[in-house]
Amino acid sequence: MKWCRYQVGDKISYGTIEGDTVTAVEGSPFDSYTETSNSQPLSSVKLLAPVIPATFYAAGINFKEHVTEMAHKRGEEPQFPPAADVGYRAVNAIIADGEDIIVPNDATELVQYEGELVVVFGKKCRKVSEKDALDYVLGYTIGNDVSERTWQRGDRTMWRAKNTDTFKPMGPWIVTDLEPDDLNVKIRLNERLVGDYDMSGAIFSVRHYISRMSQYLTLYPGDVLWMGTDGAPENMKDGDICEVEITDIGTLTNKIVWEK
């Protein structure tokens, strides 16, 4: 099943997608909903980010090659995370599939993509086991954890490095009933393959993250967990098109626009 959030005129709805058709629901997949008879071609609506989370979690560092390559770029030895300690991103930065990533004019050239699997929670959960963890997931979407590396290294926090407005593209929709460990992520910059990794290579799995987080905190419907990226990202320039494709979900596509 494929869920989206979209806008027609001033009206914002959640909807289900079958083939090239979107059908509106009243309500949302995060509480209760009823189907409507209001269907239209997917191409005739504006897709929005599929959810605005109450809390926006991000694994951050969760793949060995990414840790190793980023450490080498800084001239340091890689340090793998000893535990699934989650981080945070901010909703001000979220944009939808097809919207532009606007880079502030005082950014350095080190503005990079990080293509990631996004877990979207569907039910409230607290203190769940790894075995039961996926029961609380509505589905999966795609994220691009855009990062300005100079700010990431120099600032005390990652506030502007990762949470400048437009730096968190997410979408295009949410797909249910996937096995996260089986998914593959491909990243393309101007149609050139620049990243290709399997979620099975994650240091900590989706099930492990959910179970560990839920020992201390309550996860709510609509919360999201971005799972981190692998590989060594390249810089993006003004006008570049970045695509993140994940098996059985689709492709998230955004253009880089450097502020004049």
CB 139 within 8 A of CB 30: no
Q: Which stretch binds a copy of itself (CB under 8 A): 67-75, 114-122, 209-217, 234-242?
A: 209-217
Output 37 or 216, the one with its CB closest to a copy of itself.
Answer: 216
Q: Contact with a copy of itself (CB under 8 A): which of 157, 238, 239, 241?
A: 157
Please tell me whether residue 192 binds a copy of itself under the rule CB under 8 A: no
**DSSP H or E run through 177:** none
Cα–Cα dist 193/222, whole Å: 31
Please tell me whether residue 74 binds a copy of itself under the rule CB under 8 A: no
What is the widest separation between alpha-carbon atoms in the chain? 59
Cα–Cα dist 188/170, whole Å: 16
**Residue whose structure tokens are 């605005």:** 52
Cα–Cα dist 104/102, whole Å: 6
Please tell me whether residue 33 binds a copy of itself under the rule CB under 8 A: no
Output 156 or 192, the one with its CB closest to a copy of itself.
Answer: 156
Q: Chain-centre distance of CA 34, in angstroms?
A: 27
**Interface positions, 88-127, toward a copy of itself (CB under 8 A):** 88, 90-93, 104, 126
Q: Residue 151: beta bridge partners?
A: none
CB of 32 to a copy of itself, least distance (A): 16
Please tell me whether residue 257 binds a copy of itself under the rule CB under 8 A: no
CB atoms within 10 A of CB 87: 14
CB of 14 to a copy of itself, least distance (A): 18
Binding site for a copy of itself (CB under 8 A): 52, 54-55, 60-61, 81-83, 85-88, 90-93, 104, 126, 155-157, 159-160, 163-165, 213, 215-220
